[in-house]
Structure 1
């Protein structure tokens, strides 16, 4: 399904997020839109689930009618040229099927899938049929961005205990699906926080492209996975180079985590600071103007 020849690089990519909501603004579509804008894109959003959640956890999930999901998707693609798509929470089988069918019809040139499958508590979020449908969907996307528990679920294996095991699992997932896998080290208890692009089909300059930065010690990491995947979709639609995109996004996300505590949002795990650089520039300009 993927036609990489259709990817036309744009200075301001038009990026569609298909995901659930977060009324506190730290994850889901709200985080995606902030992430897309912070990385130079124009964000659009189709709601796949309405989620009552905050920084302390999820309370309930409401799935809009499938017909309405279809209307949202068609309303965007009938009018706007889409340069990249980021897919987040697809909470049940019929939602996954509808999004897959729309991808087949619309054929966007770049698709990034963040497979939301495991809650922070460790509970599985999808029934077995939906899990299998999500595995099948990976074959039709460019990049998949599972965290360590999700990577294990996708392979029906125990979670990786260290970075070497996570990379090996990423290679097995790429080998079986053809997609590029973004293996993330955030869930591992290591001093550094590595991320790596893995592709076993020759789509990268080398099988593993790794970027590691020091781990930021903060509990305010809510929405990090959403933000990373939407940023990758945006920057890749600008650069067309996965390795360059990862380096740029990793640097931005590292700073967003480093400044997360400044926001003071919520009583649990708060959000990252998506617009830290914009705020810094505005403050610097204000100080310069007062001199």
Structure 2
């Protein structure tokens, strides 16, 4: 599905075009009307209307596995999702099985900043309510550690990334 078209290079984002939500809804419906959806991976949504459209579709279609890799900022720091769109995320997050933010995205989602470990522990508390059906949260940035949180546990685990 095309949810946004981004013109960028190694120096930064030059332009972002978010197609109308009706186009996204048509894309989603075209797929789910034709095949059984086994899994969904969500990346950049780009607008409040896109978040709402995907949320409604997920509630209707109910795919067995939903992964959300929230693309909120470019690597050069440009915001790719309006702040007001984050207000719609509770409904979207309730459909998610696996959330894979990087640290800046996690900080944006939880609206808190701090050291790595504290940030992750606060995020786990915050996400516990939002991700009622989620089994796992994985957070990693660059070549740093990959942190796992599992539903029903109070401990965080850190795993160094393999450098294969």
| TM-score over 0.5 for the pair | yes
1:195 alignment partner in structure 2: 146
2:160 alignment partner in structure 1: 212
1:66 alignment partner in structure 2: 21
Q: Which has the larger radius of gyration?
A: 1
Which structure exhibits the higher relative contact order, with contacts defined as CA atoms closer than 8 Å and separated by 6 or more residues? 1
Gaps (5+ residues) in structure 2?
none
Aligned length: 161
Give the alignment's TM-score, normalised by structure 1.
0.50
1:154-169 counterparts in 2 under 5 A? 154-158=109-113, 160-162=114-116, 164-169=117-122
Instruction: Name the SS for the 1:124 alignment partner.
Output: coil
Deviation at 1:135, TM superposition (A): 4.2
Q: Distance in 1 between matches of 2:58 and 2:91?
A: 13
CA gap of 1:70–1:102, structure 2 versus 1, over 3 A, is same
Deviation at 1:71, TM superposition (A): 1.4
1:111 alignment partner in structure 2: 66
Deviation at 1:92, TM superposition (A): 0.6
1:144 aligns with 2:92: no
**1 or 2, which has the higher helix percentage?**
1
In angstroms, what is the RMSD of aligned CA positions? 2.2
1:125-274 counterparts in 2 under 5 A? 125-158=80-113, 160-162=114-116, 164-178=117-131, 179=134, 180-186=136-142, 193-201=144-152, 207-213=155-161, 254-255=163-164
Deviation at 1:140, TM superposition (A): 1.7
Give the alignment's TM-score, normalised by structure 2.
0.84
Instruction: Name the SS for the 1:58 alignment partner.
Output: strand
8 Å contact kept, 2:128–2:151: yes
1:90 alignment partner in structure 2: 45
Q: Distance in 1 between matches of 2:76 and 2:87?
A: 21
* 1:136-194 Cα shifts (integer Å, max 9, x gaps): 42122001111111111111112x433x22431332233232333212143xxxxx721
CA gap of 1:161–1:145, structure 2 versus 1, over 3 A, is same
Deviation at 1:56, TM superposition (A): 2.9
